[in-house]
Amino acid sequence: MEQPVIALRGATASLGSRPVLRGVDLTVRRGEVVALLGANGSGKSTAVRSIVGQVPLTGGELELFGTPRRRFRDWARVGYVPQRTTAASGVPATVREVVSAGRLARTKLGPARRADKEAVVKALELVGMADRLKDPVDALSGGQHQRVLIARALAGEPELLIMDEPMAGVDLASQEVLASALREEVARGATVLLVLHELGPLEPLIDRAVVLRDGCVVHDGPPPEAVGQHALPGHDHVHPHADPAAEPLRTGLLS
Amino acid sequence: MDILELAFMQRALLAALLVGVTAPAIGIYLVQRRQALMGDGIGHVALTGVGLGFLLNTSPVWVATAVCVVGAVVMELIRSYGRARGDIALAMLFYGGMAGGVMLMSLSPGGSNANLTTYLFGSIATVSQEDIVAICLLAAFVIVTTIGLRKQLFAICQDEEFARVTGLPVRLLNLLVAVTAAVTVTVAMRVVGLLLVSALMVIPVAASQQIARSFATTFAMAVAVGVLVTLSGTVTSYYVDVPSGATIVLMAIGVFVVLTLLATPLARKRADRTAAEERCTLDGAEAGAPADDVRV
């Protein structure tokens, strides 16, 4: 049988002294689109950040493309979209400059060639931002900024796309654009693992949902059916009980 | 142009030019990752190197370079592994470096507070032939690094976590930024002085980001501003007999103020141009979905 793209077995991880993952098993096979769901603090972000090596595992095993994480060097095969931070960078940068950083997965320390420049433009076309190449990123709305970060991950032409809350604070129009970009990537044969707060417009694309609660997998199977008000199109999930310091309220109002 | 015929002024202008290029070139990366005051910290540590140079009776530039590099690497390690108490560790390093310099200087036979002042505030007219060779070599290293690896350094300073996932050798590049900043401090030490080094790393960048819209333009403009103020400051200090370091820094602040005042009308002009292209219309809904509809 073919090697899974991601194989996480019995993973444990802590942030400070608090255990955040308490034995997580997660397998993603080639061509699958897997959503990682769960409430705030359930460990879903920590799970993906440990997969991309940003949070050390304290126990368990992780293999990427059949290679143990420790020996995995082929990062050009992975495209990563970190959780968007609203903090503006000190120095201005254009959309093209930010997206070009994604191409470094392939060029590494070498110079950018024509194919690299074309890949950057192509990635921006995919998210509908090709006309904003020369605009400074701090002039973009939240949704447009998120599209740029996704283009940055796509610029490296990855086989596996890992996205941490790509829909957080993103307006409906941008959500639709992102869904169609993702659909094209999936059609091309990409494997996708994404952290979501709710399924939203991505629902039809998702093959499997893994739900975390308190650092443990409580569901692994078909995406849960949305019920009640959650099922309404355009419903925006605002958690009044969420710790406001831990996560901004998603009112849908963009800055 | 009798000023160009004097050997000490030729050296001074060459040193000023190299500082004008190198300080903003590395400074832009420090500003981008919000480490604008790192140059200042390295400047404090450099003083121990200068004192050591005097004590050992060798070239203060090379000894200061070695000490700065060690100090900058320690600062980078504190930054990357550091927890909440990182600021305390940095304070120890800064003031330890400063105190060590003063102490070593007073212990060395040829050292005096007058020598100390030339390093603290710069003394461009006393740049020796030996100094200028060192400055040229060190500046060449800074220029090759900051321009040759600009895409990689941009990536690690803009979003370090993302850069690590692209497989770039981020730890190595971070150390390279720290080492390059340390080298720049010793390049600039004779021209603007250790206490004012950081100003030339930060102010030209801050000035050009008022009006630039891309990283590449900010970089080019910052270097242009750096060269403009170091050369004109050096020439001014020759004719008016004022200290070079202070003149250069005050001029840089002047450029910052002018560009900041220019920024507002410029931004308005750009906004007008954009507005002329995309006028609001009532039939916008039929023309296509707006880019950012707001849901409530």
Domains of chain B in sequence order: 2-196 (1.10.3470.10)
Answer whether residue A143 is part of any domain.
Answer: yes
B165/A173 touch (CB, cutoff 8 Å), yes or no: no
Tokens of B21: 């290029």
What secondary structure does DSSP assign to A64-101, as a single string? ETTEEGGG---GGGEEEEPPP--PPPSS--BHHHHHHH
Would you state the pLDDT for residue A187? 93
Return d(Cα B109, Cα B112) in angstroms, integer.
8
Tokens of A175: 């959500």
How big is chain A, counted in residues? 255
Segment A6-26, tens digit of pLDDT:
999 999 999 888 999 999 999
Segment B104-156, tens digit of pLDDT:
988 988 767 778 888 898 888 888 898 899 999 999 999 999 999 999 999 99
Residue A62, pLDDT above cutoff 50: yes
Would you state the pLDDT for residue A240? 45
On whether any CB of chain A is under 8 Å from the CB of B162, the answer is yes
Answer whether residue A212 is part of any domain.
Answer: yes
Lowest mean pLDDT among A172-176, A229-233, B205-209: A229-233
CATH of the domain at A117: 3.40.50.300
Residues 6+ apart with CB under 8 A from A240: none
Domain that holds residue A62: 6-226
Answer whether residue A244 is part of any domain.
Answer: no
Residues 6+ apart with CB under 8 A from B276: none
Please, what is the average pLDDT of chain A? 86
- With both helix axes pointing from N to C terminus, report the angle between A172-187 and A142-154 in degrees, rounded to the nearest 10: 10
Residue predicted with more confidence, A200 or B110? A200
Answer whether residue A25 is part of any domain.
Answer: yes
Would you state the pLDDT for residue B287? 43
Would you state the pLDDT for residue A230? 52
Tokens of A115: 């194919």
On whether any CB of chain A is under 8 Å from the CB of B211, the answer is no
Sort out which chain B residues have CB atoms less than 8 A from A75's CB and list them: 165-167
Residue A94, pLDDT above cutoff 50: yes
B294/A171 touch (CB, cutoff 8 Å), yes or no: yes
Lowest mean pLDDT among A59-73, A94-108, B119-133: B119-133
Would you state the pLDDT for residue A224? 78
Answer whether residue A235 is part of any domain.
Answer: no
Would you state the pLDDT for residue A242? 41
Would you state the pLDDT for residue B294? 47
Whether B25 and B206 have beta carbons less than 8 Å apart is answered as no
Would you state the pLDDT for residue B59? 83
Would you state the pLDDT for residue A250? 43
**Bridge partners, residue A67, by sequence:** A64
For B168, the closest of A94, A108, A173 (CB atoms) is: A108
Please, what is the average pLDDT of chain B? 88
Would you state the pLDDT for residue B84? 52
Angle CA A196–A157–A62, to nearest 5: 55
Enumerate residues 68 to 107 of chain B having a beta carbon within 8 A of any beta carbon in chain A.
none
Residue A236, pLDDT above cutoff 80: no
Answer whether residue A248 is part of any domain.
Answer: no
Domain count, chain A: 1
Residue type, B12: A
